[in-house]
Amino acid sequence: MLKIKNSKQFKKDLKKYRHQKSVVTEIYKILSILTNRKLLPEKYRDHNLEGRWVNHRECHVKPDVLLIYLMVST
């Protein structure tokens, strides 16, 4: 099982969505899947990023809510 390290920006953004329970629920569902090293369902449109964000991945929590993450092996 992987460990999650939240950035300050993530905490700030999550606080912004605290009144949108469906968004928060989806974010935690995605994090649970990722920490268990499973593939995200197709509906999240998970993909690699390029350029400045190389090595990072992005998935769509909702059409206008994106989650950018980096998986580091230790």
Which residue ranges form the domains of the chain, and what is each CATH number? Answer: 8-69 (3.30.2310.20)
- Three-state SS sequence of 6-22: CCHHHHHHHHHCCCCHH
- For residue 10, the number of C-alpha atoms closer than 13 Å in the C-beta half-sphere is 12
Q: Which residue, 5, 28, 6, 3, is CA-closest to 17? A: 28
| Confidence grade of residue 72 (pLDDT, cut at 50, 70, 90) | confident
- % residues pLDDT > 70 (the chain): 99
Over residues 21-41, the pLDDT tens digits come to 999 999 999 999 999 999 999
Q: What local confidence, expressed as pLDDT, does residue 74 receive?
A: 66
Contact 37, 69 (CB under 8 A): no
On the question of pLDDT at 67 being above 70, the answer is yes
Q: What local confidence, expressed as pLDDT, does residue 1 receive?
A: 81
